[in-house]
């Protein structure tokens, strides 16, 4: 994965649930939920992160959409007195090779 997508988050290297750091989580494969959240990384919101769909738009428009989503997420957390958010493992797209292998 190009460092323009992973460089900043890996330099921060947050530690998520279970004491697993982001670099460790991404050691085998860099993945995220639409480039915005990473499973078990509490309150880690990226704009744009790896696997972001922003390439479907102009970068400025895609980044604006992701920023709006993150803003809405934070507002929802505050309005409902939730302490944290995290992507769930089931939401992350698995590599296509795994899907093809399991289909056989």
Percent of the chain scoring above 70 in pLDDT = 73
Q: Which residues fall within 8 angstroms of residue 10, CB to CB, at 6 or more apart?
A: 22, 23, 26
Residue 20 has pLDDT above 60, yes or no: yes
- Rounded Cα distance between 44 and 19, Å, is 15
Query: Among all chains, which residue has been given the structure tokens 């085998």?
Result: 28
- Condensed to tens digits (0 to 9), the pLDDT of residues 25-61 reads 888 878 777 777 887 888 888 877 777 766 677 778 8
What pLDDT is recorded for position 75?
92
Single pTM value for the model: 0.64
Closest CA to 41 of 79, 90, 86: 86
Percent of the chain with pLDDT over 90: 9
Least confident residue range of 30-34, 39-43, 80-84, 89-93:
89-93
């Amino acid at each position: 994965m190009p460092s323009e997508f992973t460089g900043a988050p890996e330099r921060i290297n947050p530690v998520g649930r279970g004491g697993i750091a982001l670099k460790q989580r991404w050691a085998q494969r860099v993945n995220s939920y639409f480039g915005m959240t990473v499973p078990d990384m509490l309150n880690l919101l990226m704009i744009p992160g790896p696997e972001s769909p922003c390439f479907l738009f102009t970068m400025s428009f895609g980044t604006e959409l992701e920023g709006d989503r993150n803003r809405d997420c934070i507002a929802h957390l505050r309005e409902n007195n939730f302490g944290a958010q995290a992507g769930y493992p089931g939401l992350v797209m698995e590599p296509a090779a795994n899907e093809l292998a399991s289909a056989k």
